[in-house]
Amino acid sequence: EVQLMESGGGLVQPGGSLRLSCVASGFTFSHFEFNWVRQAPGKGLEWVAYISSSGNTIYYADSVKGRFTISRDIAKNSLYLQMNNLGADDTGVYYCARHQAFDYWGQGTRVTVSS
Amino acid sequence: SYELIQSPSVSVSPGQTASITCSGDTLGDKYVYWYQQKAGQSPVLVIYQDIKRPSGIPERFSGSNSGNTATLTISGTQAIDEADYYCQAWGSSTSIVFGGGTKLTVL
């Protein structure tokens, strides 16, 4: 069974940092590309970042470029999102999703940026 | 930047056909994906590459894409189909875009 499990969310002050993790199981992690997607409270889905299966190709939404870093560790079957210089607009639930079709999603981890 | 436009809401009676549209410049030249998100849950892929249904998705879900508009059609809509629906496509070679979402109400 394919499973994606995010963690690392929480309450952080404006300007602070967080590192989100997504552990994958039930499939060959190294074969797939991944994305991070977020959803602000009561709002729609917003794509955040993409990483290819090799990790050599990475894309970011303009809203996070220069502040967020996506990465992966094949040995740990894990995807990461390092988030720096966080602002109130970064508040929301963050999901990891597999493949360019976003065919499997995790349950999400909640990030709240507030003083 | 590329935009995908969806109507905020659609209402349908049980057993009827619901059509949810997604508009974007030359959208028909791109692959479109559709996701269903029920309240408090993670999104679920219901249509990929315009017209294909993942395993486990009921046959009443279908998709089309031509010109500037992609359409998700739900035939014989059931109460369990009430959810938010999002379209998605690659806006460029380096960015992915979601539509704003459509809230489907089954009256």
- Average confidence score pLDDT of chain B: 97
pLDDT digits (tens, 9 = 90+) for A95-105: 999 988 999 99
b/e for A34-65, b at 16 or more Cβ within 10 A?
bbbbbbeeeeebbbbbbbebebeeebbbeebe
Q: Which position has the token pair 């889905």?
A: A45
Determine the 3-state secondary structure of B63 from DSSP: strand
Q: Look at residue A59 and tell me whether its pLDDT is greater than 90.
A: yes
Confidence of residue A19 (pLDDT cuts 50, 70, 90): very high
Q: Which of B1, B94, B101 sits opposite A44 (nearest CB)?
A: B101
pLDDT in tens, B6-20: 999 999 999 999 999
Contact A103 B48 (CB under 8 A): yes
Q: Which tokens go with A12? A: 């952080």
pLDDT value of position A58 = 97
Question: What would you report as the CA-atom Rg of chain B, rounded to the nearest whole angstrom?
Answer: 13
What's the gap in Å between the CA of B14 and the closest CA on chain A?
25
- Find the mean pLDDT for residues A27-37: 96
Return the pLDDT at A100: 83
Q: What is the pLDDT of residues B16-72, one digit of tens each?
A: 999 999 999 999 999 999 999 999 999 999 999 999 999 999 999 999 999 999 999
**Which residues 77-96 in chain A show a CB within 8 A of chain B?**
95
Residues of chain A contacting B43 with CB distance shorter than 8 Å: 37, 45, 95, 97, 102, 105
Q: Residues A63-113: pLDDT tens digits?
A: 999 999 999 999 999 999 999 999 999 999 999 999 889 999 999 999 999
- Confidence tier at B92 by pLDDT (50, 70, 90): confident
Q: Is A30 within 8 Å of chain B by CB?
A: no
Chain A residues lying within 8 Å of B96, measured CB to CB: 35, 47, 50, 59, 100
